[in-house]
Amino acid sequence: MKLHGYFRSSASYRVRIALNLKGLRAEHLPHHLRKGEQRAPAFLAINPQGLVPALETDAGEVLTQSLAIIEWLDEIHPEPPLLPKDALRRAKVRAFAQAIACEIHPVQNTKVLARLREVGLGEQQVTDWAAWVIREGFIACETLIANEPGPFCFGEAPTLADLCLVPQLANARRFGVDVAAFPRLLKAESAAKAVQAFADAAPDKQPDAE
C-alpha cells in the first residue's frame, strides 16, 4: 500500500496510527501542504479533492478521507478492533471521532487558514481563530467522555476516537490552546502515547518532518 500524506497533517496522522496498530506496512509518500504540492496535477489525478491522506491499496484502488480509510482497514484487518461490537457504543465512538474530524479539524485546517489570510486577517487573528475553534470543540469532547472510565476515550483499548483525539491535541498545542483545561482528554492521550503504534506515528518521527 501507499499512503499519501504530510507529517503534520492530523488526518494523515490518524491513518498512520491505524496502520501501526494493525501491524500493516505502507510506503509513505509526502506532499508538502504549505508548498501546495497537494494541488499538483499528478496528485489531483489520485485525489481530485487535493487533500491528504489518500491510500493506494494493494489492488490499485484509491481511498480518500481518513475516517473512511480507517474503517476500511478495520474491516479487512479486524484485529485489534477500532470500533466496539456493541452498536450503541460504536455509535458513541463514531460521534466523538466525527466531532473532531468533521467539526473541529476542517474549520482550522491549512486550507481554511490560508483563505483567512487571503481575505486580510493578520497572523495573530488566524491563530486566534484556530485556537477558538479547537477550544470550543474540546469543551464538548471533554463532556462526551467525562463519565467514561478509560484510560482511553472509551475503555481499556484505543478506538477510532483516540485516533482522532491525539492528532487534534497536537494541533491544539501548536495554536496555543491551554489543554490543561481538558483533563479527561489528556488522560486518554497519555494512555495512547504509551502505545508504540501511536508514538511511531507522531509527526516528528516521519521522514518528511521539519
Following CA atoms 7, 13, 18, 21 in sequence, which dihedral angle do they give, to the nearest 10 degrees? Answer: 70
Pick the CATH number of 2-80 from 3.30.1360.40, 1.20.810.10, 1.10.3720.10, 3.40.30.10: 3.40.30.10
Q: What is the pLDDT of residues 34-72, one digit of tens each?
A: 999 999 999 999 999 999 999 999 999 999 999 999 999
**pLDDT reported for residue 207:** 95
The contacts of residue 180 (CB under 8 Å, 6+ apart) are 186
- Delimit the domains of the chain by residue range: 2-80, 87-197
Following CA atoms 116, 119, 120, 121 in sequence, which dihedral angle do they give, to the nearest 10 degrees? Answer: -20
**pLDDT reported for residue 40:** 97
Mean pLDDT (the chain, rounded)? 97
Order of strands across the sheet with 62-64?
27-30, 2-5, 54-56, 62-64
Length of the chain: 210
The contacts of residue 164 (CB under 8 Å, 6+ apart) are 14, 96, 97, 100, 101
Average pLDDT over residues 155-175: 98
Spatial separation of the C-alpha atoms in residues 61 and 65, rounded to whole Å: 14
Q: Express as a percent the part of the chain with pLDDT over 70.
A: 100
**pLDDT reported for residue 49:** 96
Neighbours of 149 (CB within 10 A): 10
Contact predicate 103/94, CB 8 Å? no
Cell 486566534 belongs to residue: 128
Contact predicate 26/55, CB 8 Å? yes
**pLDDT reported for residue 43:** 97
**Would you say the pTM of this structure is higher than 0.95?**
yes
Task: Give the architecture-level CATH label for domain 87-197.
Answer: Up-down Bundle (1.20)
**pLDDT reported for residue 48:** 98
Q: What is the pLDDT of residues 107-157, one digit of tens each?
A: 999 999 999 999 999 999 999 999 999 999 999 999 999 999 999 999 999
